């Protein structure tokens, strides 16, 4: 699609997105406008170097700017849609790069080695103590709360086994149902109505006891 045609289509879509009285029509126009920008290579990654990593962030922010301000800020008499959108994107990209440089400078003043929490890429949140405590309680079920709660006439289908398979081993309901010999719908129903309640209850009480809440 050449530039002239792109501008023509964008103009039509802007008009529709900003003036249609029908919510669905307005949304469809915005969808088509964004789709055009994202599929026609208009806002492409400008470099392959160190700044390329900011492309997605800038693109994401510029989409929100367009969706929020297009109808108020864009003036057809001052610029074609294409050049206005490209300028917005370039400015956003510069902002992203500046912000990242500021952050890097700030971090280089402090020895990052000794302050890992300040590193711009946070270390992953891994399994916490409270998660492990809960998992231990499920595995042990010291008071038999979970094992005593089973589907009627089927002691094997009890909350203890379900919790171990579903939470600790993270198996899918389909598999669990096959193993226990009960339909997956019945299992999930028992899980949602009974087991989840027991586990959440223990977790709440444990937190209250330890003053975490």
What phi, psi does 155 have (nearest 5°)? Answer: -60, -20
Q: Using CB under 8 A, which of the segments 8-16, 30-38, 74-82, 104-112 binds other proteins? A: 30-38
C-beta of 52: minimal distance to other proteins in Å? Answer: 10
H runs (alpha helix) in the chain:
3-19, 23-39, 55-73, 81-108, 129-140, 159-163, 173-180, 184-190, 196-209
Per DSSP, 194 falls in state I
Give the span between the Cα atoms of 101 and 157, in whole angstroms: 57
209 is written with which tokens? 């006891």
- Interacting residues of 118 by C-beta distance below 8 A, sequence separation 6+: 107, 110, 112
Site string for other proteins, 88-127 (x = CB under 8 A): ---------------------------------xx-xxxx
Residue 38 touching other proteins (CB under 8 A): yes
Within residues 55-74, the interface with other proteins by CB under 8 A covers 55-57, 59-60, 63-64, 67
| Axis-axis angle for helices 55-73, 23-39 (nearest 10) | 140
CB closer to other proteins, 87 vs 183:
183
| Contact range with other proteins by CB under 8 A, out of 5-13, 72-80, 85-93, 179-187 | 179-187
- CA–CA dist 4, 124 (Å, integer): 47
Q: Indicate whether 193 belongs to the interface with other proteins (CB under 8 A).
A: yes
Whose Cβ is closer to other proteins: residue 111's or residue 153's? 153
Report residue 105 as tokens: 């400078």
Contacting residue, 24, 50, 109, 209, with other proteins by CB under 8 A: 24
Binding string, residues 139-178; x marks residues near other proteins by CB under 8 A: ---------------------------xxxxx-xxx----
Angle between helices 23-39 and 3-19 in degrees, nearest 10? 160
Which residues lie near other proteins (CB under 8 A)?
23-24, 27-28, 30-31, 34-35, 38-39, 53, 55-57, 59-60, 63-64, 67, 121-122, 124-128, 130-131, 134-135, 166-170, 172-174, 183-186, 188-189, 191-193, 196, 199-200, 203
């Amino acid at each position: 699609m050449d530039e002239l045609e792109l501008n023509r289509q964008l103009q039509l879509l802007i008009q529709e997105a900003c003036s249609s009285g029908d919510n669905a029509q307005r949304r469809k126009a915005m969808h088509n406008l964004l789709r055009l920008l994202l599929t026609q290579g208009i806002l492409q990654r400008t470099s392959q170097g160190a700044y390329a990593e900011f492309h997605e962030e800038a693109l994401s922010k510029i989409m929100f700017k367009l969706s929020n301000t297009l109808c108020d800020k864009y003036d057809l008499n001052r610029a074609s849609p294409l050049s206005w959108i490209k300028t917005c994107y370039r400015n956003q990209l510069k902002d992203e790069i500046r912000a990242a440089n500021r952050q890097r400078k700030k971090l280089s003043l402090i020895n990052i080695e000794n302050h890992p929490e300040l590193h711009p890429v946070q270390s992953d949140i891994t399994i916490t103590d409270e998660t492990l405590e809960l998992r231990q309680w499920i595995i042990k079920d010291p008071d038999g709360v979970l094992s005593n709660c089973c589907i009627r006439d089927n002691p094997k289908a009890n909350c203890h086994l379900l919790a171990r398979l579903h939470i600790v081993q993270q198996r899918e309901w389909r598999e669990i149902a096959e193993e226990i010999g009960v339909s997956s719908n019945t299992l999930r129903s028992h899980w949602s109505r009974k087991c989840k309640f027991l586990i959440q209850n223990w977790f709440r009480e444990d937190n209250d006891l330890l003053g975490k809440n």
